Copies of this chain bind each other. A is one copy, B any other.
Amino acid sequence: MRLTTKGRFAVTAMIDLGMRHQRGPVTLAGISDRQRISLSYLEQLFGRLRRQGIVDSVRGPGGGYTLARPMTEITVADIIRAVDEPIDATQCGGLGNCHDDRECMTHDLWMSLNARIYDYLDSVHLAELVQQQLDKPEQCAGKKHEHRRVVGSADLKVAANG
């Protein structure tokens, strides 16, 4: 397991996608704009997500990305595994071909915790996170001015297009 900003970006982007995939394919340009993640980087990440069968792509105008399966069947661990391929814990790589006890121990110490973290992240589904966002009234925004009525996340991006 590995949890870096890379994984964070991927999860964030997937939540964004999850929140609006019903309205058809979502473009990376949109996600890039809303979540402030560089487009090039998103392309890289979604390339992997696609090859892992987590999202589907539609090319051409009106295209973009859609979820390849229901949100309830996509876990945080899936997403992280896809973009941040797990470098194995030690040289041994879980194959058990370590040459002495020490290597084994090193490998083992971490792997058992690793497995627990994965178990946990496998229990968190994308659907949950999306729902959590939809339920939540804007927290940050309201702090600045008092009760600025904010727009559901649905219309967050009302930008300037013709």
A residues neighboring B (CB under 8 Å): 1-5, 8, 11-12, 15-16, 33-36, 76, 87, 89-90, 92, 94-98, 100-121, 124, 129, 132-133, 136, 138-141, 143-144, 148, 150-151, 153, 156-157, 159
Residue of B nearest to A92 (CB): B140
Copy count, this protein chain? 2
B111 contacts A116, C-beta separation under 8 Å:
no
Residue of B nearest to A8 (CB): B110
Residues in B whose Cβ lies below 8 Å from that of A133: 105, 108-109
Q: 11 new A-B pairs (CB below 8 Å) besides A101-B156, A104-B138, A104-B141?
A: A12-B106, A94-B151, A96-B144, A97-B144, A101-B141, A101-B150, A105-B133, A105-B138, A105-B153, A114-B153, A116-B157
Given contacts A101-B156, A129-B113, contact A108 B3 (CB under 8 A): no
B139 contacts A104, C-beta separation under 8 Å:
yes
Given contacts A101-B138, A140-B104, contact A150 B95 (CB under 8 A): yes
A124 contacts B113, C-beta separation under 8 Å:
yes
